[in-house]
Structure formats: C-alpha cells, structure tokens
Structure 1
Amino acid sequence: MTEQNLMEGAKQITSKIKISLLERDMSQVELSRLISEHPVQVNRAIHADMSPKSLAIRKKIYRVLDIKE
C-alpha cells in the first residue's frame, strides 16, 4: 500500500465518523463517555491512528454509531 492510499483511507475513516457524529448531534466528548474511553484516545482513533488501542476504540465507535467497517 502506498503512502497516498494510507492517507486516503485515514481521511475516509475520519469523515465517516465525523459525519455520523454530526447526524446524531453528538460531540466527541459525549461519544467518549458513551464508550468509556478518554476523549484524547477517542480523538486519536477518529483520526485513524493505527495503534492496537485506537483500533479497539474504533470498533466500539463503529458499533455505537452503527457504521459498517
């Protein structure tokens, strides 16, 4: 995978989550409370950090916001 592909994938992840939050009129802080994670960690996950912790948080986010992976 090229760097360009990685950047595009990261943008798509971020966009999906942000749009879903806007549609629900929900903030990242509210989301973090809902999934019992620290807001900074949630922000990293939303911005496509690839650490194991961020991947696990994104799975929670997808489940709560009903986003298909």
Structure 2
Amino acid sequence: MILSRFNTTPDTNNKDSIDILLSQKDSNLLIAQYEYHNGTCKQEKFIFDGKKLKSITKVLESCNEQ
C-alpha cells in the first residue's frame, strides 16, 4: 500500500510522533509532517507519480505552516 509507512491509527506502540499528511486537490504533492511529543516537528515532501511516492526533499528539521 502506498501510504503504509504513515501511521493512521492512534498511538498503541508508544510511537514518538504523530504523522500528518497534507495535500491539495489536483496536486501530486504530498507533505508529510511528523509532530513529536516534545514539541519538535519534521517535514518531508513527496511527489505521487500515479503508482508510488518519490521523496523530493530530505527530512527537514522544521515544519512550514501550510
């Protein structure tokens, strides 16, 4: 499954972060934000080519407001 790497269920395994996926209608861009319980946030951007996600950035050490 394409999005299987992202958690979509409540934290049952003491996961360190909450995964938030951001997208817009008619866009191939997917932004993944990882909000950690200590208040930090990391972000990664992907392009969806119709079959798979391709990372277009390294994991950024902060999150931009969208």
TM-score normalised by L of structure 2: 0.26
Q: If each structure's strand is expressed as a fraction of its own residues, which one has the higher value?
A: 2
TM-score normalised by L of structure 1: 0.25
Q: If each structure's helix is expressed as a fraction of its own residues, which one has the higher value?
A: 1
- Per chain length, whose mean CA-contact separation is higher, i.e. which structure has more relative contact order (CA < 8 Å, sep 6+)? 1
